[in-house]
Amino acid sequence: RALRRLPLAFGWMAKRPIPREITDAWLRPLLSQREIRRDLLKYLRHYNKGDLLAAAERLRSFDRPALVIWALEDRVMPPAHGRRLAALLPHGQLIEIADSYTLIPEDQPGELARAIRQFIRDTP
Protein backbone atom coordinates (compact mmCIF):
# COMPACT_ATOMS: atom_id res chain seq x y z
CA ARG A 1 0.00 0.00 0.00
CA ALA A 2 2.76 2.46 0.87
CA LEU A 3 4.43 1.66 -2.45
CA ARG A 4 1.46 3.18 -4.27
CA ARG A 5 2.31 6.63 -2.83
CA LEU A 6 5.91 6.51 -4.03
CA PRO A 7 6.81 9.01 -6.77
CA LEU A 8 7.43 6.21 -9.26
CA ALA A 9 3.99 4.76 -8.59
CA PHE A 10 1.04 7.12 -8.06
CA GLY A 11 2.62 9.47 -5.50
CA TRP A 12 3.35 12.21 -8.03
CA MET A 13 0.19 11.50 -10.01
CA ALA A 14 -2.47 12.15 -7.36
CA LYS A 15 -2.43 14.73 -4.61
CA ARG A 16 -4.71 12.64 -2.44
CA PRO A 17 -4.59 8.92 -1.71
CA ILE A 18 -6.37 6.86 -4.36
CA PRO A 19 -8.61 4.13 -2.94
CA ARG A 20 -6.93 0.75 -3.09
CA GLU A 21 -9.74 -0.85 -5.09
CA ILE A 22 -9.17 1.72 -7.84
CA THR A 23 -5.40 1.25 -8.05
CA ASP A 24 -5.92 -2.51 -7.88
CA ALA A 25 -8.26 -2.28 -10.87
CA TRP A 26 -5.71 -0.17 -12.76
CA LEU A 27 -2.84 -2.55 -12.00
CA ARG A 28 -4.67 -5.88 -12.31
CA PRO A 29 -4.31 -6.17 -16.11
CA LEU A 30 -0.60 -5.31 -15.92
CA LEU A 31 0.00 -7.90 -13.22
CA SER A 32 -2.14 -10.64 -14.74
CA GLN A 33 -1.58 -10.36 -18.50
CA ARG A 34 1.81 -11.01 -20.01
CA GLU A 35 0.86 -9.23 -23.25
CA ILE A 36 0.18 -5.99 -21.42
CA ARG A 37 3.52 -6.18 -19.59
CA ARG A 38 5.24 -6.88 -22.91
CA ASP A 39 3.59 -3.89 -24.59
CA LEU A 40 4.38 -1.57 -21.68
CA LEU A 41 8.04 -2.59 -21.70
CA LYS A 42 8.19 -2.17 -25.47
CA TYR A 43 6.78 1.34 -25.17
CA LEU A 44 9.13 2.29 -22.34
CA ARG A 45 12.19 0.95 -24.16
CA HIS A 46 11.39 2.68 -27.44
CA TYR A 47 9.88 5.96 -26.27
CA ASN A 48 11.06 8.69 -28.61
CA LYS A 49 10.62 12.33 -27.65
CA GLY A 50 11.06 13.38 -31.28
CA ASP A 51 8.13 11.20 -32.35
CA LEU A 52 5.99 12.71 -29.62
CA LEU A 53 6.88 16.27 -30.63
CA ALA A 54 6.20 15.50 -34.31
CA ALA A 55 2.78 14.11 -33.42
CA ALA A 56 2.05 17.20 -31.32
CA GLU A 57 2.96 19.45 -34.27
CA ARG A 58 0.33 17.71 -36.39
CA LEU A 59 -2.28 19.04 -33.98
CA ARG A 60 -1.94 22.43 -35.71
CA SER A 61 -4.16 21.04 -38.48
CA PHE A 62 -6.95 19.88 -36.13
CA ASP A 63 -9.80 22.22 -37.05
CA ARG A 64 -12.36 21.36 -34.36
CA PRO A 65 -12.91 22.80 -30.89
CA ALA A 66 -10.63 21.16 -28.34
CA LEU A 67 -10.54 21.41 -24.58
CA VAL A 68 -7.23 20.95 -22.77
CA ILE A 69 -7.63 20.48 -19.03
CA TRP A 70 -4.41 20.60 -17.01
CA ALA A 71 -3.49 20.51 -13.34
CA LEU A 72 -1.67 23.59 -12.05
CA GLU A 73 0.33 21.54 -9.55
CA ASP A 74 1.15 18.66 -11.91
CA ARG A 75 4.55 17.21 -10.99
CA VAL A 76 4.76 14.85 -13.98
CA MET A 77 3.51 17.06 -16.82
CA PRO A 78 4.25 20.72 -16.04
CA PRO A 79 1.53 23.34 -16.62
CA ALA A 80 3.69 24.89 -19.37
CA HIS A 81 3.13 21.70 -21.40
CA GLY A 82 -0.63 22.14 -21.17
CA ARG A 83 -0.33 25.74 -22.30
CA ARG A 84 1.83 24.70 -25.26
CA LEU A 85 -0.63 21.95 -26.18
CA ALA A 86 -3.59 24.35 -26.11
CA ALA A 87 -1.62 26.88 -28.20
CA LEU A 88 -0.91 24.22 -30.85
CA LEU A 89 -4.63 23.62 -31.38
CA PRO A 90 -6.19 26.32 -33.61
CA HIS A 91 -9.42 26.17 -31.60
CA GLY A 92 -7.89 25.05 -28.33
CA GLN A 93 -9.18 26.20 -24.98
CA LEU A 94 -7.16 25.66 -21.81
CA ILE A 95 -8.65 25.22 -18.37
CA GLU A 96 -6.22 24.86 -15.50
CA ILE A 97 -7.40 23.04 -12.40
CA ALA A 98 -6.04 24.03 -8.99
CA ASP A 99 -5.32 21.69 -6.09
CA SER A 100 -4.58 18.67 -8.28
CA TYR A 101 -1.74 16.66 -9.72
CA THR A 102 -1.86 14.67 -12.97
CA LEU A 103 -4.90 12.55 -12.15
CA ILE A 104 -7.48 15.32 -12.14
CA PRO A 105 -10.39 12.81 -12.19
CA GLU A 106 -9.17 11.52 -8.82
CA ASP A 107 -8.14 14.82 -7.22
CA GLN A 108 -10.83 17.18 -8.54
CA PRO A 109 -13.64 15.18 -10.19
CA GLY A 110 -16.23 17.91 -9.64
CA GLU A 111 -14.07 20.62 -11.21
CA LEU A 112 -13.27 18.35 -14.14
CA ALA A 113 -16.96 17.58 -14.73
CA ARG A 114 -17.86 21.29 -14.51
CA ALA A 115 -15.17 22.21 -17.05
CA ILE A 116 -16.34 19.56 -19.50
CA ARG A 117 -20.02 20.50 -19.08
CA GLN A 118 -19.21 24.19 -19.64
CA PHE A 119 -17.18 23.40 -22.76
CA ILE A 120 -19.97 21.26 -24.20
CA ARG A 121 -22.56 23.91 -23.37
CA ASP A 122 -20.51 26.76 -24.89
CA THR A 123 -19.20 24.96 -27.97
CA PRO A 124 -21.32 25.14 -31.12
Q: Which of 81, 99, 91 has its CA nearest to residue 15?
A: 99
Where are the chain's structural domains? 2-122
pTM of the model: 0.84
Q: pLDDT by residue for the chain (124 residues), tens digit each?
A: 555 555 557 888 999 988 889 988 998 998 899 999 999 999 889 989 899 889 999 999 999 999 999 999 999 999 999 999 999 999 999 999 999 999 999 999 999 999 999 999 999 8
- Eight-class DSSP state of 109: H
**Secondary structure class of 9 (helix, strand, coil):** helix
Range 2-122 has CATH code 3.40.50.1820: yes
| Spatial separation of the C-alpha atoms in residues 61 and 119, rounded to whole Å | 21
Helix or strand (DSSP H, E) at 83: helix 79-88
